[in-house]
């Protein structure tokens, strides 16, 4: 158990990859807070984890709403006395519509940037003061390999995820003195229980050609790296990005 007694928030953990992060951190002994806009799904994932005799609870949050992130952080601090780990995983992703740049409205651009980039800023802003008081924290921001591939047809998404990398480096400099590390990972296309528009069956075959490891990526291929970054073994790693993509972006 590498994360015994740690309190960990995982945003967007009501489904998909976040659900796997929550399960994996719980298996390592953390009390995981499944934080999602969709409270029914968050409760379902927390219950799945509790059925394994592991520790979890659910909380509703809209990461793009400042008051909602403040309320989340306050409630967790009040209930558990601390917040050790923040995994900023929530994003508009599986529901995104693939479109050319000229077809993306200003409103669509704003909503993707509001959740995927501003949402990370707001969650950090709410949680970092608590981590500073503890003189301890681990923050992991989920970006995407799409940043390096220049993937067309969802440039608002790609732009939001590129912003996450700049944010990670800059924040790591600001809060390193408080023993808080901030890192990001860039997963390659990862197959979850949620179908999505962004990768077709043909693209799946193409992916295997460009990945060094000839297997479609699954959430469990990512969660070990996230756990590692939360452990004391990674205490001297900060401001870094880990490409976890089967060698696609070499």
Residues involved in catalysis: 157
> In terms of CB distance, is 4 or 195 closer to ligand NAI?
195
The CB-of-222 to ligand NAI minimum distance in angstroms stands at: 8
Please, which residue, 94 or 241, has the CB nearer to ligand NAI?
A: 94
C-beta closer to ligand NAI: residue 114 or 239: 114
Cα 14 from Cα 62, distance rounded (Å): 12
148 contacts ligand NAI (rule: CB under 6 A)? no
Kindly state the smallest distance separating residue 21's Cβ from ligand NAI, in Å.
9
The least CB distance from residue 190 to ligand NAI, in Å, is: 4
Q: Is 127 in the site for ligand NAI (CB under 6 A)?
A: no
Enumerate the H helices of the chain as residue ranges: 16-27, 39-51, 66-80, 106-113, 119-134, 146-149, 155-175, 201-210, 220-230
Contact 49, 56 (CB under 8 A): yes
Token pair, residue 241, equals 């990005």
Sign, CA torsion 169/171/174/179: negative
Question: Can you tell me which of 33, 189, 226, 227 binds ligand NAI, judged by CB under 6 A?
Answer: 189
Residues 13-52 that bind ligand NAI (CB under 6 A): 14-18, 36-38, 41
What is the three-class DSSP state of 243? strand
User: What does the chain come to in residues?
Assistant: 250
- C-beta of 188: minimal distance to ligand NAI in Å? 6
Nearer to ligand NAI, 101 or 194 (CB): 194
Q: Shortest approach of ligand NAI to residue 179 CB, angstroms?
A: 26
Among 32, 59, 91, 130, binds ligand NAI (CB under 6 A): 91
Beta strands 85-88; 241-244: pairing state: unpaired
221 binds ligand NAI (CB under 6 A): no
What does the alpha-carbon distance between residue 71 and residue 9 come to, in Å, rounded to a whole number?
A: 13
Q: Across the beta sheet with 85-88, what order do the strands follow? A: 56-60, 31-36, 7-11, 85-88, 137-142, 180-187, 241-244
Q: State which H helix or E strand residue 242 sits in.
A: strand 241-244
Q: Looking at 55-63, 79-87, 124-132, 230-238, which segment touches ligand NAI (CB under 6 A)?
A: 55-63
User: What is the radius of gyration, based on Cα positions, of the chain?
Assistant: 17
Q: Which stretch binds ligand NAI (CB under 6 A): 7-15, 71-79, 206-214, 230-238?
A: 7-15
Query: What is the closest distance, in whole angstroms, from the C-beta atom of residue 30 to ligand NAI in the complex?
Result: 18
Q: Chain centroid to CA 201: how far?
A: 25
Rule CB under 6 A: say whether 163 interacts with ligand NAI. Answer: no
Query: Could you tell me the end-to-end alpha-carbon distance of the chain, in angstroms, rounded to an integer?
Result: 32
Residues that bind ligand NAI (CB under 6 A): 11-12, 14-18, 36-38, 41, 61-64, 89-94, 115, 119, 142, 144, 187, 189-190, 192, 194
């Amino acid at each position: 158990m590498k994360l015994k007694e740690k309190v960990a928030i995982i945003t967007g953990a009501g489904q998909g990859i976040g659900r796997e992060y929550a399960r994996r951190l719980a298996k390592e002994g953390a009390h995981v807070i499944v934080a999602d806009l969709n409270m029914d799904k968050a409760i379902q994932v927390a219950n799945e984890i509790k059925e394994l005799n592991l520790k979890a609870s659910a909380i509703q949050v809209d990461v793009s709403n400042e008051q909602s992130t403040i309320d989340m952080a306050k409630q967790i601090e009040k209930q558990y006395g601390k917040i050790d780990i923040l995994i900023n995983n929530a994003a508009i992703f599986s529901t995104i519509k693939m479109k050319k740049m000229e077809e993306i409205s200003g409103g669509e651009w704003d909503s993707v940037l509001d959740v995927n980039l501003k949402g990370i800023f707001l969650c950090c802003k709410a949680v970092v003061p608590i981590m500073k008081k503890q003189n301890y924290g681990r923050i992991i921001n989920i970006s995407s390999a799409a940043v390096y591939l220049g993937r067309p047809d969802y440039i608002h998404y790609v732009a939001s995820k590129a912003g996450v990398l700049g944010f990670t480096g800059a924040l790591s400099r600001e809060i390193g003195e408080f023993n808080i590390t901030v890192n990001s990972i860039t997963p390659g296309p990862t197959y979850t229980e949620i179908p999505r528009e962004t990768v077709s069956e043909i693209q799946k075959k193409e992916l295997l050609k460009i990945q060094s490891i000839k297997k479609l990526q699954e959430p469990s291929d990512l969660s070990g790296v996230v756990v590692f970054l939360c452990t004391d073994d990674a205490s001297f790693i900060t401001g870094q990005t880990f490409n976890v993509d089967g060698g696609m972006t070499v």
